[in-house]
Structure 1
């Protein structure tokens, strides 16, 4: 054993450190003395930098205060006591001075500064003051500003270079785009006659000269074994080792290896000395067939084992857990540690059992949970988990044991009842449970559900005695009792539970169901007073929700009584109208129409002179009520608001649609008395007569209206009536007379020009439009009519100039830009049309009609990208939504197209073109019910706008057609091709 000792002298004398080695117990002292006399070559030499004596042998260096001294300042001179003494010569000093001079005059390129040269800055050694910092900041700001000024030119130059590069080196997709378009012209026969590619390799590659090595099958070796042609179906028993396998590897050539010690195996055929493998296989198959046939059918005749699929059934035993096995092991160890630390902790046992269940070890899980029942016999969760993991009868035994340990557990009793398959057994278990836990509402409910009405009533009578605070049991008993007994039951329930509102509501519903509707309002009022007396806060939203439930249950009187009682609770006086209208809309959304009707009725009682409330109630009756209810409401409305023209008109229209024209006339006559010289009523009366083929009466009404209430619209209706009836001279005379009084009304100029166009008088039509534009330069339809007139006359340049002038007069007008784009497109100048569209999008970036047209102008592969951009800019614009729906239609995406058409007509039901496309789409891809639904919805909303819709509805040949007939005309004219 060697012992090493390190002796360190004064730290300043580390160069004189001596190492002495003392050998103990086995080394002679004289040998140590002889070795110490030898002079080592490293003695006296300075220690290397960072050297710690004995570090290689495990020693640790240390520093004393004499090394570093007391706390020295950073500016103190460095203590070089540990540095080796050195001798400086004159030559060394000269070399050092020469090196310093070389450093000062270093002319290397890396030492060159662009601003200061080789010598460096004259002021680099000086202090960096605040003035210098400000100057540098100013110079940096100037440089940054100059760089920003050059940024646009630099980016423009980079874009030009990229475009040039892409033009010179286009992508493969762009190179073959024209060829891909020509694939449309390829017929099906040409497509099928395209030759296959085949194998392009040469013959040498397809048929290499070198031979392929194919392994010889075992059947060939077995056939030629031992050099004979006989097939060997047996194995030499000497090749087997008794009870352990082969003594040597089994050779293919059939070499015989004798058994050691002369042992002989037991499985041999008599007399042959060899083991017949073929017979063993046959015997195995026979034995398996016998066993399967024995257990295939049970006594009842139902199959227990599937002889064909018994192996495939093993798939159900494959563990479904796909996690890491290491995680499972870690979880097992952790749970085992928890169980051992606290064996009476039920969650640890349950988690362990579920872990084994997840990993497919169901029996291990069962063993664990059964052990848990021993360790935690008072845990309800452990017993329930054990019952879940155990199969049928075993689960019943587990639950029976659980009941003995936990006779008061409701969940265990419920589980015991669920495990029973027969109804009588379930009832028996629940009866025993109620004997142990008579105050459990859950057990009473489960027991009552299994009984017939008579027995259930008896059980509920006992249940309310045991659980007098359960509202559900009281209400269930009241439903099973007769009217008189139910009243008594509810009275007892109110005495036991004076703070529950459902008992009062059930009492009101009971009175309503038995025809005693006069008591409903009294019961509801008493309920609110009683609940307030018992300190219950009346929550308005909860009561309205209860009224909605009553409405859905058919208790109309009860829901209306609740609304009248609580609608004004908690609402400020100035917010009543707004809050009540919101409540009515919410009820409509939830399908509680009677509640909404009750809210409107109460609001009309509070605000009888509010026109907006009457209108909301009228629209509600129009959409969700009957014609009689609507007319009754409108009669009361015009009595309270006789100056509301729209209410009179709604009443007259309702009578007219019902076919009662005399009643409609009488309503309009009353409206004239309440609103003399009203333009809307005059026009409604005129429309009523003209729509019912009473042309002379309509003329007389128009003449009277022109004399008593002359307006531009009255004159316009007069001109149109004569025009559609074919009296063109009279229409022109009326038009001249109207323009003499109302020259600022553009529709008169438009009608005058259209009459001349109908007469093929192009010059007079042009003059009419031109005069109208002088008087009404802001009318876009006039500009469009004049441009189209010139286009039809072949004056394309003049039409283009008219549109350009119109855009100057009306900047940022999307309809004018759209007409300009379409003009160029119809002329075949697609490039100019695209340029104009780009300018239009710059001037009107949020115009839906322009974005929709831009989608159509793009090539088919680019339309989807353009539609995404359009939706980002105009998400809720009906024209964009319609364009997207048409795009899906063209791609045969029927479901998506229908969804987008529905969104379009929902956002803007007044857009007739959307209804036309929707109807045409359903004609091609929808059912008869869907087509009728679109037609019905269109007739209800009566759209008035849309380019093609207005073109069809305002045609003089279609002036008497209903909205449904106009819809069919629009659908026939529309096309779904882009």
Structure 2
């Protein structure tokens, strides 16, 4: 302790009122021990209240004691700190408000995924343990894509070896070049390789090698397959499929010597494998094949396949027969050997003797019995087939052979139907009964073989037993089966099915129409129509088809007498005479129809016919009569306004929400009263905002008035209201600036899908860019999408006139066959009264000329 001074206050009592740390700003406090035990006064009550405390600034001591008034700098600092504190309070308030809004709107990512986070509580420990580790998948994908693009050239030795069938063949370097091209093509097409699995199925790999070409002999894959198959044969030396697959790998690689060595090793391990012997014979040189085959027959004399291969190697027919007979000595019950021997017999009598012996030895072979019956007379053939049927009661081939035999000899007494009925009855009682599809397949095969009666008998017999619970279901099934048979060229089977359908459902006119269409080239067409009409006398479609097929006016008179209230029949009768050029008779028919029924269509047809006859006053009277009965008919008003332009106001009043009335009225006023026309169309759009026709009429009006910005604005609004209307999209593409047309066309295809007008617009765009193959492709797509659109056909014809004049005639034939009626411009053009008396070809050619000159 020496050397250190001792403080004099240590060990002395503290002064009265001393509080430790008061000079440093500390404050004293009172605890319960300070008050003493048993005191009920609360500790908090000891502390002075706010009223009792003097001003803190006045009571501070030490460094915090007041030191006089503040200076200017201190006041400025206090002011700055106060402003900062106010800003911070305002920011904290704004942040709190934003957080509250996010919570209310549920836009906070933490809130959005709060429910998903709660679901993590249900994840078990095992599930957590089995979660995959995250990795750099982008880098792995980039590495994998680089590996796919890597190309390793195949050596010429591999390509030459793969084209050599034997060691004696000379390499053909032209073939090598073609093989190299195929290899490169396969690499470019991303051909699939052998695989990278650690183990393979030898049998499956063997089947795959059967289908592989030279392009599959890639070096890396061959090495991998060789290693895998070597492992397979080492693991199981008795697996013949693995040995053969290993040999095929060497064969594909062009290493024939090694392939033969593999098979030689395989024969030592599996000397009783027929497949290995067959493959060894196949790849051996021609001079060694007989030796290997002889060894094979020593080990496997009971193999019919080896005996047949040995017979095929013999060049002398007699020697080949001798080999087969020797094989039969070891395999007397081999059906394949008997068939091979019979096929080599040129003398029918010797073949008959062989077959007689063969059926005794192999009575279960239906093919041998049928072949035996074919070489005998009808009586003997019947006996042979009867015996075969007794020995093979489950053989469909024997039953059908007997039916075909009777059909070939005239089907006396309907014996074919009787045999088929017995066959269906007896075979259906067996445990492995044939299904309906199996019988239908047999019927189609019979028709393809020329046995029509057998085919019809099968269909009739099986459908006697197949009855659906619902009549509609039965008719539908028969119709589907008929279409399937017709698609395979079995017209008699299809017709028989439809005859069954009409017999079961005579009231279904659609079944009769199907039957008539299938029988269109037969002599029974008239009798079918009469039978159909007797069963369905009220079928308007049957009456019209019958009249069109025969061209007989009396049929329509009969139809009208049976169905006097049918508007369609009256109109069809009038059209029949209009097409024949007898307009007056057609008018008389419509006049008579008006006395029976009151129809808007009849009034309109009468007025048009009177116009064609040059009777405008009569047409006006007819329209007035029609409007008195049908005052809201927009079609009658349109025709009336075309004859008398003063009727437009009345038409607007009568049909204020008719798009056709509004559109045609605006077109009528466009030349003289543009503002009035715009007002009419705008009012129509307000009443019918989803009417694409009104939007298009407004756009056409603006284009006619050369107001392109207004037209584009209307198009944009119209496409917003009618996003799938192809006419609007067609116009939008055509008026778009050329650099933007392709994007607009792609958007139109996305919106409208498979639409003829959109495809036609895209084809025009491709033609402008001189991409003629793509233009032709899109024109064909337009024709396939909807053959009824005349505008698309017309533009396709214009395209051929410009670029493919040799194909104009064939295209016009397709158009004449389709006879389109739709299209924004074609439908209006063809309805012009001046074209009513002209044939279709003339009208359409005139339309194409007008369209071509307007472009």
TM-score (norm 1): 0.61
Q: Secondary structure at the match of 2:607?
A: helix
Q: Report the equivalent of 1:607.
A: 505
Correspondence for 1:557 among 445, 450, 453: 453
Distance 1:315 1:698 in 2: 75
Could you give the per-residue CA deviations for residues 907-956 of structure 1, whole angstroms, max 9, x where no partner exists? 544434444455566667779899458636744x5543333433343222
Whole-angstrom CA distance in 2 between matches of 1:896 and 1:683: 44
**Deviation digits for residues 670-694 of structure 1 (CA, Å, limit 9, x no counterpart):** 1222122432222222222233232
Aligned with 1:406 (options 300, 306, 312): 300
Q: Residue in 2 aligned with 1:507?
A: 402
Residues 930 and 609 from structure 1, CA distance in 2 versus in 1: closer, same or farther, beyond 3 angstroms? farther
Alpha-carbon deviations, 1:24-77, whole Å to 9, x = none? xxxxxxxxxxxxxxxxxxxxxxxxxxxxxxxxxxxxxxxxxxxxxxxxxxxxxx
Inter-CA distance 796–552: structure 2 relative to 1 (3 Å threshold): farther
Aligned 8 A contact 1:918 1:934 in 2: no
Query: Matched residue of 1:388: which SS?
Result: helix
Distance across 1 between alignment mates of 2:531 and 2:770: 52
Match of 2:49 in 1: none
Gaps of 5+ in 2: 1-23, 25-84, 86-94, 110-167, 181-213
| Consecutive unaligned residues in structure 1, runs of 5 or more | 1-100, 102-116, 118-135, 151-303, 657-663, 757-764
User: What is the alpha-carbon distance in structure 2 between the residues aligned to residue 868 and residue 958 of structure 1?
Assistant: 37
Aligned partner (choices 356, 371, 384) of residue 278 of structure 2: 384
CA shift at 1:968, angstroms?
3.7
Are 1:457 and 1:477, in contact at CA under 8 Å, matched by a contact in 2?
A: yes
Q: Does 1:953 align with 2:830?
A: yes
Structure 1 residue 344, shift from structure 2 partner: 5.4
The more displaced of 418-427 and 956-965 is: 418-427
**Structure 2 equivalent of residue 10 of structure 1:** none
Q: Write the distance in 1 (CA, Å) between the matches of 2:808 and 2:397.
A: 43
- TM score, norm. by length of structure 2: 0.69
Deviates more, 1:408-417 or 1:744-753: 408-417
Kept after mapping to 2: 8 A contact 1:784/1:816: yes
Match status 1:870 vs 2:764: no
Counterparts of 1:103-502 in structure 2, within 5 Å, are: 142-145=101-104, 148=107, 323=218, 346-347=240-241, 349-420=243-314, 423=317, 426-452=320-346, 454=348, 456-502=351-397
**Equivalent in the alignment of 1:743:** 631
Q: Distance in 2 between matches of 1:320 and 1:649?
A: 62
Superposition map of 1:527-542 within 5 A: 527-542=423-438
| CA distance 1:708–1:361, shift in 2 (3 Å) | closer
Contact kept, 8 Å, 1:427 with 1:450, in 2: the verdict is yes
Q: CA deviation at 1:826?
A: 4.2
Confirm or deny: 8 A CA contact 2:789 2:820 kept in the other structure. yes
Deviation per residue, 1:115-162 (Å, 9 max, x gap): xx9xxxxxxxxxxxxxxxxxx999966435569599xxxxxxxxxxxx
Give the conservation status (yes or no) of the 8 Å contact 2:793–2:815: no
2:528 corresponds, among 633, 653, 662, to 633
Q: Is the 8 A contact 1:952 1:969 kept in 2?
A: no
How far is the alpha carbon of 1:430 from its aligned partner?
3.5
The Cα offsets for residues 523-577 of structure 1, whole Å up to 9 and x where unpaired, read as: 2211111213434434112212222222333333222222221225444231212
Deviation of the 1:902 alpha carbon: 5.4
Cα 1:945–1:348 change in 2 (3 A) is closer
1:788 aligns with 2:788: no
Q: Deviations over 1:755-802 (max 9, x none)?
A: 34xxxxxxxx2x3233223212333222222222223x2544433333
SS in 2 for 1:407: coil
Question: 1:390-416: CA deviations, max 9, x gaps?
Answer: 111112221121111111123323433
Q: 1:916 to 1:554 in 2, by over 3 A?
A: farther
Alpha carbons of structure 1 residues 784 and 636: separation in structure 2 relative to 1, 3 Å: same
Partner in structure 2 of residue 814 of structure 1: 692
SS at match of 1:392: coil
- Contact 2:217/2:252, CA 8 A, preserved across alignment: no
Choose the corresponding residue for 1:578, options 471, 476, 480. Answer: 476
Q: Cα distance 1:830–1:628, how it changes in 2: closer, same or farther (>3 A)?
A: farther
Partner of residue 587, structure 2: 699
Contact 2:727–2:824 under 8 Å retained in 1: no
1:524 aligns with 2:412: no
Look up the match of 1:727. Answer: 615
Residues 681-712 of structure 1 show CA distances to partners (whole Å, capped at 9, x for unaligned) of: 22222222233232332333333233333322
- Which range is displaced more, 725-734 or 855-864? 855-864
Residues 462-484 of structure 1: per-residue CA shift (max 9 Å, x gap): 43333322333333444454444
Q: What is the CA-CA distance between 1:843 and the residue it aligns to?
A: 0.9
After superposition, the C-alpha distances for 1:268-289 in whole angstroms (9 at most, x for unaligned) are: xxxxxxxxxxxxxxxxxxxxxx
In structure 2, which of residues 718, 723, 726 is the aligned counterpart of residue 848 of structure 1?
A: 726
- 1:566 paired with 2:444, answer no
Q: Report the Cα distance in structure 2 between the residues aligned to 1:438 and 1:351, rounded to whole angstroms.
A: 33
Measured in 2, the distance between the counterparts of 1:315 and 1:650 equals: 63
8 Å CA contact 1:469–1:497 kept in 2: the answer is yes
In structure 2, what is the equivalent of residue 753 of structure 1? 641
Q: Distance in 1 between matches of 2:389 and 2:290?
A: 42
State the secondary structure of the residue aligned to 2:677. Answer: helix
> Per-residue deviation at 1:633?
2.1
| Offset at residue 723 of structure 1 (A) | 0.9
Over 3 Å counting, the alpha-carbon distance change for 1:138 and 1:572 in structure 2 is farther
Distance 2:478 2:591 in 1: 46
- Secondary structure at 1:567 match in 2: helix
In structure 2, relative to structure 1, the CA distance for the partners of 1:316 and 1:692 (3 Å cut) is closer
Worse-superposed segment, 729-738 or 313-322: 313-322
How many Å separate the matches in 1 of 2:250 and 2:841?
69
Describe the shift of the 1:366–1:751 C-alpha distance in structure 2 as closer, same or farther (beyond 3 A): same
Q: What is aligned with 1:589?
A: 487
Offset at residue 892 of structure 1 (A): 6.6
> What do residues 444-475 of structure 1 show as CA deviations (whole Å, max 9, x unaligned)?
44444444472555544443333322333333
Please tell me whether residue 547 in structure 1 is matched to residue 443 in structure 2: yes
Is the Cα–Cα contact under 8 Å of residues 800 and 807 in structure 2 kept in the other structure?
no
Q: Secondary structure at the match of 1:393?
A: coil
Shift of 1:311: 9.0
RMSD: 4.1
For residues 877-911 of structure 1, what are the alpha-carbon distances to aligned partners after superposition, in whole Å with 9 as ceiling and x for unaligned?
A: 44334445555666676776666555555554443
Provide the C-alpha distance between the structure 2 equivalents of 1:346 and 1:627, rounded to a whole number of angstroms: 59
In the TM superposition, 1:658-737 aligns within 5 A as 664-737=552-625
1:754 positional shift: 2.2
The answer to whether the Cα contact below 8 Å between 2:574 and 2:586 also exists between their aligned partners in 1 is yes
Taking the aligned partners of 2:676 and 2:300, their CA distance within structure 1 comes to 100
Q: Go from structure 1 to structure 2 and tell me whether the alpha carbon gap of 1:667 and 1:497 turns closer, same or farther (over 3 Å shift).
A: same
C-alpha distance in 2 between matches for 1:317 and 1:670:
74
Q: Provide the rounded CA distance (Å) in 2 between the counterparts of 1:470 and 1:947.
A: 69
Q: Mark the structure with the bigger radius of gyration.
A: 1
Deviations 1:701-751 (A, max 9, x none): 333233333322222122111212222233223223332332222222211
Partner residue, 1:838: 716
Measured against aligned partners, the alpha-carbon deviations of 1:81-120 in whole angstroms (never above 9, x if no partner) come to: xxxxxxxxxxxxxxxxxxxx9xxxxxxxxxxxxxxx9xxx
How far is 1:962 from its partner?
Answer: 3.9
When you count helix as a share of all residues, which structure comes out higher? 2
Structure 1 residue 486 displacement after superposition? 3.5
